[in-house]
Amino acid sequence: MYSPWNGAWIGIPAQLEYIDPQLVLTPAQVPPDVLDYDCGQLRNTHPDDALQHGNVGTIQDFANANNGLTRSDIIGQRGYQRMGPMISLPYGPSIRYIRDPQNPDVIIDLRHMLVVAYQGPFAGNSIEIIQGMGSEQSAYDHQDYFSNSLGYRFYELYISQIRAQPSSFTSLVVQFLTQPQSQSGASHRTRNNDPNLINQRCP
Report yes or no on 27 lying in a domain.
Answer: no
Record the pTM.
0.80
Is residue 8 pLDDT above 70, yes or no?
Answer: no
In a domain, 13, yes or no: no
Q: What digits encode the pLDDT tens for the residues 40-77?
A: 999 999 999 999 999 999 999 999 999 999 999 999 99
Q: Is the pLDDT of residue 19 over 50?
A: no
What is the predicted pLDDT for the residue at 83?
66
Would you say residue 170 lies in a domain? yes
Residue 63 forms part of a structural domain: yes
**Does a structural domain hold residue 52?**
yes
Contact in structure between 189 and 195 (CB atoms under 8 Å): yes
> What does the alpha-carbon distance between residue 147 and residue 145 come to, in Å, rounded to a whole number?
5
Q: For residue 99, what are the domain limits? A: 32-179+188-201
| 7 domain-assigned | no
Indicate if the alpha-carbon torsion angle 185, 199, 149, 12 is positive or negative: positive
User: Considering its fold, how many domains does the chain have in total?
Assistant: 1
pLDDT of residue 85: 72
Q: What pLDDT is stored for residue 177 in this prediction?
A: 96
pLDDT tens by residue, 79-138: 988 866 776 789 999 999 999 999 999 999 999 999 989 987 755 445 544 454 444 555
